[in-house]
Structure 1
């Protein structure tokens, strides 16, 4: 941050107001979003792109999305 005189002055100003803190973590919650609020056609298209060999290819992510949406679709029936 000290590349120029102006940056150096700025770094000095914000450094005086910088404090450290510790926050103990009691629990955390992980959520599997996987485009659950998208129409089935959109989800199917995303999965197809992830399964393909293009720039967005990610077979592992495609498999996880497919698993997640199979559960969601079964719950809607």
Structure 2
């Protein structure tokens, strides 16, 4: 499954390649374009880290939502 970050990373890479082909690999514009790619990749990584951080109860409840420990009571 392709995420929004995957699409954005691909777009940024394509744009960076185009900019570098026009301005040269050693240009400031090329470096800035690849910095943008790295920033998007870092954001995607941090978003993934956030989703993966579950404590043991959250993990248990994800696997066993019907368990008594996982019931949610509303006022």
Is the TM value for this pair above 0.5?
Answer: no
TM-score, normalized by length of structure 2? 0.38
| Pair member with larger Rg | 1
TM-score, normalized by length of structure 1? 0.37
